[in-house]
């Protein structure tokens, strides 16, 4: 009888401990303020041509949640937007309380053949203002289409690495890495990723987004 009672007590204590530890972890996670991220971009960010749940921001949000990372991501993508357009709406697209920005602009500047210095100046201004507001940034690069010629491609391609170095922000060199020019990963227009293409983008950029979140947490000591 005594032995049976003792065994039951030990089993009960073990069960309480097993339940209490995950509960404590969950409570701790709830007490961590979520990192508030704004994805500021064009149609690639907005999720052009896709059901809402298949767009870049919802898929990235789900990937972070699957890793247990506490983050809120606001989709501030506007189809057709240029870097200058992003600058013009910066203050209301990135509200007070934002901790980090995923900056994906410049593709429409390139597609319209605009002078690379125009995109450079606009992105420079955006990064400067975000720095003044102490907002961490992940800058997403873009490459020029081959038909625009070598000099244009070289000038355009330098924009992102130069600005990332100037402001010390994280850089993901090519937002469409692994997706561009692959018909199986793009919609019929050949410019916008399909659901499978978005999956590739999210998987490849995820480590950089994790690094962005880590920077925010380190800065605020959480």
Local structure of residue 179 (DSSP, 8 states): T
Local structure of residue 82 (DSSP, 8 states): -
Report the alpha-carbon distance of residue 156 to residue 142 in Å, rounded: 8
Report the alpha-carbon distance of residue 199 to residue 128 in Å, rounded: 31
- Retrieve residue 84's tokens: 């200058």
Question: How distant, in Å, are the alpha carbons of 4, 69, 109, 125, 142 from that of 63?
Answer: 47, 9, 30, 31, 23
Q: Please pick, among 42, 43, 109, 120, the residue that the annotation labels catalytic.
A: 43
Cα 61–41–160 angle (5° rounding)? 110
Q: Please pick, among 124, 177, 192, 219, the residue that the annotation labels catalytic.
A: 192
Task: Quickly tell me which residue has 């994906």 as its tokens.
Answer: 104
Per the annotation, the verdict on 192 as an active-site residue is: yes
Report the alpha-carbon distance of residue 82 to residue 86 in Å, rounded: 6
Per the annotation, the verdict on 120 as an active-site residue is: no
Give the phi and the psi of residue 151 in degrees, each rounded to 5.
-60, -40
Please identify every residue annotated as catalytic: 43, 189, 192
């Amino acid at each position: 009888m005594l032995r049976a009672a003792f065994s039951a007590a030990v089993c009960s204590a073990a069960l309480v401990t097993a339940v209490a530890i995950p509960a404590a972890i969950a409570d701790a996670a709830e007490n961590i303020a979520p990192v508030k991220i704004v994805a500021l971009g064009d149609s690639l960010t907005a999720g052009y041509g896709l059901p809402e749940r298949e767009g870049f921001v919802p898929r990235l949000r789900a990937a972070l949640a699957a890793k247990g990372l506490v983050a809120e991501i606001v989709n501030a993508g506007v189809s057709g937007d240029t870097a200058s357009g992003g600058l013009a709406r910066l203050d209301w697209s990135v509200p007070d309380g934002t901790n980090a920005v995923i900056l994906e602009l410049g593709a429409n500047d390139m597609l319209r053949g605009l002078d690379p210095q125009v995109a450079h100046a606009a992105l420079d201004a955006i990064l400067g203002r975000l720095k003044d507001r102490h907002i961490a940034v992940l800058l997403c690069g873009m490459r020029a289409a081959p038909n625009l010629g070598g000099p244009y491609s070289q000038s355009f391609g330098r924009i992102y690495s130069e600005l990332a170095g100037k402001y010390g922000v994280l850089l993901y060199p090519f937002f469409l890495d692994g997706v561009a020019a692959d018909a199986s990963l793009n919609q019929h227009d050949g410019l916008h990723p399909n659901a499978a293409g978005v999956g590739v983008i999210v998987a490849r950029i995820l480590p950089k987004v994790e690094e962005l979140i880590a920077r925010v947490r380190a800065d605020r000591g959480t």
